[in-house]
Each structure stands twice: as structure tokens, then as C-alpha cells.
């Protein structure tokens, strides 16, 4: 991992097809080298002074985080012999990302599967640790206990318990309001 810095010379996005659909990948050019950011938008523009940890990876130099040191935007130099024409690019709309995150997570939301997998893994880890890491036979009662624990973890991490508390509190408030109105 090498700390690198410089002025952004160019910015690029490329759409790639993943199992989740078409997603944009981001990269920018500093000191003559292209820096790959993967699916994370570095939010930089030409002329910005940046620093970042550069790691040589599968796709060249890669980084996870970019720090913007200054936002001086470079202006193109136009001479009499060159004409510069610019057209406004239509804004691209991309699905996914952090903007679609909701809490509590609805039952049919895609993130629910991730929460459920994590809850099952943690419940399994807890069961194994509670038994001291010793081998055990898989029985229906063991599986039922692990799934019961996983469902409790899922209800907590997905926000189901918070939603139930909020609804219960709302019902109590409505009852109080209706009693005060009598």
C-alpha cells in the first residue's frame, strides 16, 4: 500500500454487467496512471488535488478511499486554432447503492437475504462456541434451536423489533388521545 497524491488529469466511468445487472465502475488518472475505484464513485473531477492509498491489484492500481485536498477545477485552454465544443451529458441514473437502503428492512427487500444469511452464520457460531467448539451430532432439535436464534438475530438487525416497539407505542399514544377526547 503506497500513499499517492496528485492532480486528477481525467475521470472515467465504464458500465459492466454483473449478476445484479449493469453497474458503473469508476477510475481517474493521476500522474499519468489510471487509478481504479471499482464500484465506488470517488466524487472527483479534473483539476482536483487528491491523495489515496494505491494498491497494485488485478486491474492495475486500485484504491478504496480518495481524500480530496483541493477542488480547484482545471479550465481548458482554448487557442484561436482549436475550437472546443461541449455538450451537456444526460445524467445517468444507476440503481442500487446506498440511496435505496431502508430501515426497517421490508420482508421482500433484497437486503433481507443478506441479513438472514448473516444472522444464521452468527447463530451457528454462537451455538458452536456455547458447546466449547466440540463436535456434535446434527439433530432436528439442534437445527431448530439454531434457526430460532437466527430468527431473533434477524428480527433485531432488520429492525423488526424496533418497528414492533414503535407500533406498540403508537397504539398506546392513540389510546391515550382517544381517552383524553372523551
Residue 84 maps to a domain: no
End position of a domain, from candidates 54, 70, 86: 70
Residue 74 has a pLDDT of 53
Residue 153 has a pLDDT of 94
Owner of C-alpha cell 426497517? 104
Residue 141 maps to a domain: yes
Residue 98 maps to a domain: no
Q: Residue 116 has which C-alpha cell?
A: 438472514
Which residues form the domain of 21?
Answer: 2-70
Residue 105 has a pLDDT of 85
Residue 64 has a pLDDT of 86
- Identify the bridge partners of residue 6 per DSSP, sorted by sequence position: 50
pTM of the entire structure?
0.42
Residue 135 maps to a domain: yes
| Cα→Cα distances 92→11, 24, 37, 81, Å | 15, 10, 18, 33
Tally of domains in the chain: 2
Chunked in runs of 10, what are the mean pLDDT values of the chain (182 residues)? 84 89 91 89 90 82 88 55 46 48 83 91 92 85 93 92 89 85 72
Amino acid at each position: 500500500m503506497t500513499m499517492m497524491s496528485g492532480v486528477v488529469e481525467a475521470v472515467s466511468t465504464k458500465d459492466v454487467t454483473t449478476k445484479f445487472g449493469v453497474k458503473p465502475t469508476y477510475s481517474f488518472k493521476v500522474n499519468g496512471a489510471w487509478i481504479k475505484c471499482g464500484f465506488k464513485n470517488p466524487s472527483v473531477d479534473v483539476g482536483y488535488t487528491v491523495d489515496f492509498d494505491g494498491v497494485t491489484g488485478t486491474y492495475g492500481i486500485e484504491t478504496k478511499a480518495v481524500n480530496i485536498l483541493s477542488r480547484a477545477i482545471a479550465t481548458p485552454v482554448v487557442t484561436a486554432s482549436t475550437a472546443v465544443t461541449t455538450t451537456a451529458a444526460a445524467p445517468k441514473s444507476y440503481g442500487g447503492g446506498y440511496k435505496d437502503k431502508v430501515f426497517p428492512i421490508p420482508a421482500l427487500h433484497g437486503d433481507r437475504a443478506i441479513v438472514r444469511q448473516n444472522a444464521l452464520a452468527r447463530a451457528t457460531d454462537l451455538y458452536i462456541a456455547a458447546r466449547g467448539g466440540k463436535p456434535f451430532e446434527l439433530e432436528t432439535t439442534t437445527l431448530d434451536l439454531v434457526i430460532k436464534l437466527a430468527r431473533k438475530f434477524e428480527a433485531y438487525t432488520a429492525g423488526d423489533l424496533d418497528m414492533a416497539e414503535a407500533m406498540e407505542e403508537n397504539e398506546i399514544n392513540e389510546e391515550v388521545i382517544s381517552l383524553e377526547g372523551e
